[in-house]
Every structure is written in C-alpha cells, then in structure tokens.
Amino acid sequence: MNQAEAIEQISKALSHLTYQVAQENFAGFFSKNRLLEDLLLPAFAILLQASKLRNLNALGQNNAFLDLVDDEARVGVQITTERDTVGKTN
C-alpha cells in the first residue's frame, strides 16, 4: 500500500467512525466518546508536537473544558461530539 492509499483508508475509516459515533450519540449511547480520547491521543501528540499529552479523564472524571493536555507544550484539546446534528437537513 502506498501513502495515497493509506491516507484514503484512514479517511474512510475516520468517516465511518464519525458516522457511527454520531448515530450512537443520537440514540443515547456515549461509550465510544471516552474511548476516542485515548484513541486520538497519540495522533494529537504527534500533530501538535506535544510528547507529554495526557488524558485528563483517565481517572474516571469528566473534565468540563479539556480532555487532552500537555502542560509543558501548553497544548489542550477538547474532543466533542454533538448529538443534535444527526439527521438534520438544510
């Protein structure tokens, strides 16, 4: 697989995941939301050059403002899903 094919596969997987999470959230199921924080942490650490990025919700709490933080790099990420956008048409 070359780089373009890999990017295409990643794009398709993220699109599928986005749709799946949106549908589950609309139905009232939010279990994947916290899982996604840990799944996306390594990618954000690389993209943001934040080698000490950590999940503030790892201890079971739900931080109101930030989910991922690197104090040294002064970076914070809020991972958010919106329940009310599923099924809307313009």
Using CA atoms, how far residue 44 sits from 7, 13, 17, 65, 83, in Å, is 16, 17, 17, 17, 23
Encoding tokens for residue 47? 């993209």
- 3-class DSSP assignment, residue 84: helix
Identify whether the C-beta of residue 54 lies closer than 8 Å to the C-beta of residue 69: yes
- Asked whether the beta carbons of 77 and 66 are under 8 A apart, the reply is yes
pTM higher than 0.85: no
Tens digits of per-residue pLDDT, 5-56? 988 998 999 899 889 988 888 888 888 877 888 888 999 999 999 999 999 9
